[in-house]
Amino acid sequence: MEREKRILVTDDDAAIRALLVTILRRRGFKVDTARDGNEAMQRCTQCRYSLVVLDLMMMSGYEFLKAIEALEPESRPMVLVLTAGNPPHALNPDVVAGSMHKPLDIEMLVDTVAACVTTSRERLQAEGCPAAETDGRIPASESGTKPN
C-alpha cells in the first residue's frame, strides 16, 4: 500500500472533467474522475482521497456532501465545491474547504487545489484501490519531447 495525496474530480460534464484532469495532471497531481455523486461515493469507499473537486449543481452533488458528512472525520476527504449557480450557503465547513464559481479562474483553481492538498495529510491508500487514472506525469506527446 502506498501513501499518497490523490484528487477525485466529480462533474457530470465530460468536457469540464477532462479539462480539470488535464490541468491538474500537468501540475503533477494524481487524479481520478467520477461522473456523479453516486460514482464519487463509490470511489471514496474504494480509495482514499485527499480532495474531491465537486460540481455541486449536478443532480447528486448535495447528496454526496451528506454522505461524506456521515463518514468519520479522519476518513473524510476535503471537498472543493464548484458551482455555476448562486454561491452556496450553509455548507458544512468540516467537509467543504471552499467554493469556486464557474467559469473558473484556472490559476486560482490550481492554487486552491494545491493549498488543500498540501495541508491534507498523506493517506495510506486502501487495499484494492486501483492506480490513479492519471499519475501526474505528462506524457511525452504532450510535453513537446519525443519518446525514445
Per-residue pLDDT tens for 76-131? Answer: 999 999 998 887 888 999 999 999 999 999 999 999 999 999 988 777 888 889 99
Mean per-residue pLDDT, 64-73: 93
State whether residue 118 is helix, strand or coil: helix
CATH class of the domain comprising 3-135: alpha beta
DSSP state of 76: P
**Ordered strands of the 51-55 beta sheet:** 30-34, 6-10, 51-55, 78-83, 96-101
The residues, ordered by sequence, that sit 6+ positions from 36 with a Cβ below 8 Å of its Cβ are 10, 12, 58, 59, 60
Tell me the C-alpha distance between 29 and 45, whole Å: 20
Q: What is the CA angle 89-90-96, rounded to 5?
A: 95
Q: List, for residues 10-42, the tens digit of each pLDDT value.
A: 999 999 999 999 999 999 999 999 999 999 999
Tell me the C-alpha distance between 101 and 119, whole Å: 22
Higher-confidence position of 67 and 74 = 67
- pLDDT of the residue at 86: 81
